[in-house]
Homo-oligomer: A and B are copies of this chain.
Amino acid sequence: MALDLKPLADRVIVLPAAAEEKTKSGIIIPDTAKEKPQRGEVVAVGEGKISDQGVLVKSQLKVGDQVLYGKYAGTEISLDGADYLIMRESDILAVL
């Protein structure tokens, strides 16, 4: 799934995975108690950061990567009814 939105510099746009609505023991979690997901899919990648030396440092991520990110990373944006997170590549912890 790609997105018609081009992040600038070293930013990426992530579609957060839906938060699990059941605990492991099967109890349904009310909406206010759901833990914010930290897993998502990269839907857009910026061109990379241009360093002081004029070197373009490209992103190590690509569209479709499943990623883990810090709990409070990024800025929420709403686009066509869906909620995305736009964050710097350095906020991405790992690729699954």
Is A17 close to B, CB under 8 A?
Answer: no
Check A8 against B57 for contact (C-beta < 8 Å): no
Assuming the A-B contacts A38-B77, A70-B75, A75-B70, are A93 and B50 also in contact, with contact meaning beta carbons closer than 8 angstroms in the complex? Answer: no
Check A86 against B75 for contact (C-beta < 8 Å): no
Check A96 against B52 for contact (C-beta < 8 Å): no
Q: Which residues of B are found within 8 Å of A57, using beta-carbon distances?
A: 50, 52, 54
Assuming the A-B contacts A90-B9, A96-B5, are A47 and B60 also in contact, with contact meaning beta carbons closer than 8 angstroms in the complex? Answer: yes
From B8, B54, B75, B95, contact of A53 by CB (8 A): B54
Is A63 close to B, CB under 8 A?
Answer: no
8 A Cβ contacts from A1-23 to B: 4-9, 11, 13
